[in-house]
Structure 1
């Protein structure tokens, strides 16, 4: 289900990418700052919700990190995007596992818009400047960011690290 939301947003936002076809897949094996040759990297963050698979407790996080690796095969007119959504774990459960984030559709759209801008600059050499459309969040976030429960902190890419 999650990958369909990302693919749908990408189809909508990438319709003007020089008639090339782009595809996105979720790939939890992506290592930040270790993209393959001829690939580009873009790291961004957004609001997301989590739910513990053990105790069913839910929480929100103000800045969930997302890493995109992307590449254009100009000869085939196809672009490939690999996406890694960094996980968090419940602070109440002793045996908690890292849980996948659930992004609101609006936030997926913002992340994909930003990504498409990076693709246009890197793969098509377009000069677009910078656009800072904010993520959408409804609700309240309480408490400190807890690095020991954040996969992005453990990978050294979390901007909220204590």
Structure 2
């Protein structure tokens, strides 16, 4: 019998391997944070925002070719001792409803670094995030909406 792919039920992930990109953006402001791998509620600050990326359905039997999203919900948290983390919420495939973990673009490091700088008292201009939407945000497929951490799904 062939091995089956593990069916993920995780509704969010953290990306410690992207810390070097965040750290590089913080260094120009003389800020040095460590990634806090423990997901707990003892944060000094928490902020919900969105990043961009791409999803591919993990279901081999699904006909989906994947999708990009400009509204991937994340919660950025800062902890004592110059530590932070960011919870990135998954989305479900529109074709088969399977959970999919995103592949993030540069917006993750930019948004995390911006928020850490702001919390650290660095004065900055508010960044302009934009670009054309690539379709409607389907709240029932967004785990951030369901958890109350997506700007699109505050009333979901």
The TM-score normalised by the length of structure 1 is 0.69
Structure 2 CA distance for partners of 1:133 and 1:59, relative to 1, 3 Å? same
Q: What residue in structure 2 maps to residue 76 of structure 1?
A: none
Runs of 4+ in 1 over 4 A off after TM superposition: none
What value does the CA root-mean-square deviation take over the aligned residues?
Answer: 2.7
Higher RCO structure, 1 or 2 (CA under 8 Å, sep 6+): 2
Which blocks of at least 5 consecutive residues in structure 1 are unaligned? 74-78
Q: How does 1:96-107 map to 2 (within 5 A)?
A: 96=98, 98-104=99-105, 106-107=106-107
> Which residue of 2 is the match for residue 80 of structure 1?
83
Q: Count matched residues.
A: 137
Any unmatched runs of 5+ in structure 2? 1-14
1:156 Cα deviation (Å)? 1.5
Distance 1:70 1:113 in 2: 11
Residue 84 to residue 132, structure 1, CA distance change in 2 (3 Å): same
Per the alignment, in what secondary structure is the counterpart of residue 68 of structure 2? strand
Indicate yes or no: 2:41 matched with 1:41: no
Shift of 1:134: 2.0
Aligned-partner Cα distance in 2 for 1:100–1:118: 28
Instruction: State the TM-score, normalizing by the size of structure 2.
Output: 0.72
TM-aligned CA deviation for residue 112 of structure 1: 2.7
